[in-house]
Amino acid sequence: MARKLKGTAAARGVAIAPIVHFHTTLDHIPTWKVKDDGVPAEKARLSGAIAEVTTNLTALQQELAGALAKHDVRIYDAQLAILHDATFRRDVEQEVTQHRVNLEVALQRVIARYEGVFAAMENPSMRERAADLRDIGRQLVGALIASERQKYTANGSDYLFAADEFLPSDAGILDRAHIRGIVTAHGGKYSHGAILARSLGIPCVVGIEQIMLESATGGMAIVDGDAGLVILQPTPEELADYERRLHEQRAIDRRIEEVRFQPSVTPDGTAVQLLANAEGVRDLESLEIEACAGIGLFRTEFAFMERRQFPTEDEQVAMYRRAMEGARGRPVTFRTLDVGGDKPLGYFRMPEERNPVLGWRGIRLCLDWPDILYTQMRAILRASALGHARILLPMVTTRSEVVRVREVLDQLAADLKATGVPFDPEIELGVMVEVPVLVPVLPDVLPIADFVSVGTNDLVQYLLAIDRDNQRVAKMYDPFHPGVLRVLQQIATMAAAAGKSASICGEIAGDHWFTPLLVGLGYRELSMAPVFLPRVKLMLRSFTLVECQDLATRALAMQSTSAVRRLVQDEIQPRWVRQLGAPAETKR
């Protein structure tokens, strides 16, 4: 029976192969008491181990130099810097001298202390560096006990690397010709291991704590680095679907260079803005901003969730300014703090709720705690002086909520103007449509909102009354439901009548099978995870506006989800296949 395990997408792509377990810790660490006259010998052993690990890391760095991006090769420079840090060496030697423990034990103790320091840091990138310390400690202890990690030989067979974590030195033992994917129990999206996986082009999912218990070496599995999903013992249907996706991705990769920087237009010239979703500033560092129209959804909550206390106004300003600079003049839509539900803040006590997804979250929480809202909106206003910023309100249900926020925004803008602090006086305020009751009252809200963004993840869930994370009913969660399409049309029509832009920022924006329908329903802005931008652009360039409108009209008239899906299968999929196999278009 297939089992689906959800983690964090760390490197894009899909992989299908048997899992191989790798154990990243040494089985046995020797322990003994060091006599007074044995201390110099332990220090000499440390010098020898440092020299050996230096040689190994330098060789690995040179080996990978041709496979990694130049800035990623510097990961090994960071490890070498730790290895030769004078303070690190002094602390290890002091541990031996003061406590008379052997070098292996001293290294473990010092590394553990350093890890504790990194774990307490506010900056999540710095917390991730604890993995580098563990890696250096493992390599040094391995050198001391003459435990050389053997390079894995896959014997010509493809495989998936599964371990507690993927550390930089692990790249040296991989059979890179046959590794197809990486899945780990620990580690973050911005760990050095995840960065290496992305640079090497290996699909990677991290943070599946139970992966080593749930899986077995030799068992077939699928790693979906786009969705952050691992499927163990996949069904024949799932294997067939992902095999198709693999074939499709190869074809897409061939076409990306042709359309990457071309306009996002239908063949008859209808422009559709394709924007990127971002979880933080670091997502912008790897984003090819020239390939999109801007940032359609900047999820500010992740910066709050990674910290141990609320960020100050100045700290938020610094973050939002970095986002504005990374967008290089393109618009950035900052969604105000959307915590609660499945996104709690560890430092902010929230009440126990039987159904937190329908509880105290989003704009409801911020209006109850106005200091949070005031600080964040003032910070966004200050950052808006650098370009085109927009503010998006989540979980809106009534006009009165927008009125209250508009009053706050106007007052903050007046205060900044009075004190000579620069900001964009034309900054836009938008509402996120994700609560179904907002749809019938949208005409009341639109006069005081500048734009609309549809959060289809929650909207579809609420419309269908289905928890998509509940395995008993998840199969019933389907945004191709005719009722969902009709609601999406209503939103687009009302926004157009009010002269306001309407965008989609939920998952269906990045689902290329949905692209012709969304364009036909009237949407001209789609915001998605960057990995899906090429697919959507390719699909957009496959259908004229008239064809999109015809498909949408027919889908709206259908009476079942299966009928809509047959339309996709019969008319959208064949065009997609032809597009992938078509020769290059004339450059526009």
Sign of CA pseudo-dihedral 50, 191, 346, 429? positive
pLDDT at 193 over 70: yes
Residue 74 confidence (pLDDT): 81
**Which positions are annotated as active-site residues?**
192, 505
Which of 126-140, 481-495, 572-586 bottoms out in mean pLDDT, i.e. has the lowest? 572-586
pLDDT one-digit tens code per residue, 484-531: 999 999 999 999 999 999 999 988 999 999 999 999 999 999 999 887
Compute the average pLDDT of residues 366-383: 94
Compute the average pLDDT of residues 560-581: 89
> Which stretches within 180-235 are classed as H helix?
192-200, 211-214
pLDDT at 26 over 70: no
* Spatial separation of the C-alpha atoms in residues 171 and 135, rounded to whole Å: 12
Compute the average pLDDT of residues 8-21: 92
pLDDT at 588 over 90: no
pLDDT band at 585 (very low <50, low <70, confident <90, very high): very low
Compute the average pLDDT of residues 317-322: 95
* Spatial separation of the C-alpha atoms in residues 404 and 559, rounded to whole Å: 40
Q: Across the strands, what pairs with 471?
A: none
Superfamily of structural domain 36-144: PtsI, HPr-binding domain (1.10.274.10)
Which of 112-116, 127-131, 374-378, 467-471 bottoms out in mean pLDDT, i.e. has the lowest? 467-471
Residue 216 confidence (pLDDT): 92
Residue 584 confidence (pLDDT): 40
Residue 356 confidence (pLDDT): 66
Residue 543 confidence (pLDDT): 95
pLDDT at 219 over 90: yes
Residue 226 confidence (pLDDT): 87
pLDDT band at 586 (very low <50, low <70, confident <90, very high): very low
Q: Which percentage of the chain shows pLDDT scores above 90?
A: 62
pLDDT one-digit tens code per residue, 419-461: 999 999 999 999 999 999 999 999 999 999 999 999 998 999 9
Contact (CB, 8 A) for 131 and 167: yes
Which of 38-52, 134-148, 233-247, 383-397 bottoms out in mean pLDDT, i.e. has the lowest? 134-148
pLDDT at 255 over 60: yes
Burial class of 359 by CB neighbour count within 10 A (0 to 12, 13 to 18, 19+): middle
Residue 297 confidence (pLDDT): 96
pLDDT band at 587 (very low <50, low <70, confident <90, very high): very low
Compute the average pLDDT of residues 228-244: 94
12-24+150-234, CATH topology level? Glucose Oxidase; domain 1 (3.50.30)
* Spatial separation of the C-alpha atoms in residues 514 and 520, rounded to whole Å: 10
Report the mean per-residue pLDDT for the chain. Answer: 89
Residue 562 confidence (pLDDT): 94
pLDDT one-digit tens code per residue, 165-187: 999 999 988 898 999 999 999 98
Compute the average pLDDT of residues 277-296: 87
Q: Which residue has the higher pLDDT, 69 or 545?
A: 545
Structure tokens at 168: 């930089």
pLDDT band at 95 (very low <50, low <70, confident <90, very high): very high
Domain locations along the chain? 12-24+150-234, 36-144, 262-559
pLDDT at 302 over 90: no
Residue 341 confidence (pLDDT): 57
Q: Across the strands, what pairs with 17?
A: 221
pLDDT band at 66 (very low <50, low <70, confident <90, very high): confident
Sign of CA pseudo-dihedral 460, 463, 464, 469? positive
Q: Cα-flanking dihedrals φ and ψ of residue 332, to 5°?
A: -125, 120
Sign of CA pseudo-dihedral 87, 93, 95, 98? negative
Read off the DSSP letter of residue 530.
G
Compute the average pLDDT of residues 466-487: 82
Compute the average pLDDT of residues 91-114: 94
Residue 468 confidence (pLDDT): 67
pLDDT band at 288 (very low <50, low <70, confident <90, very high): confident
Which one of 3.20.20.60, 3.40.50.300, 3.40.190.10, 3.10.20.30 gives the CATH number of domain 262-559? 3.20.20.60
Q: Cα-flanking dihedrals φ and ψ of residue 281, to 5°?
A: -60, -35
Q: Which percentage of the chain shows pLDDT scores above 70?
A: 92
* Spatial separation of the C-alpha atoms in residues 224 and 436, rounded to whole Å: 31
Residue 187: closest CA among 212, 169, 174, 205: 205
Residue 345 confidence (pLDDT): 66
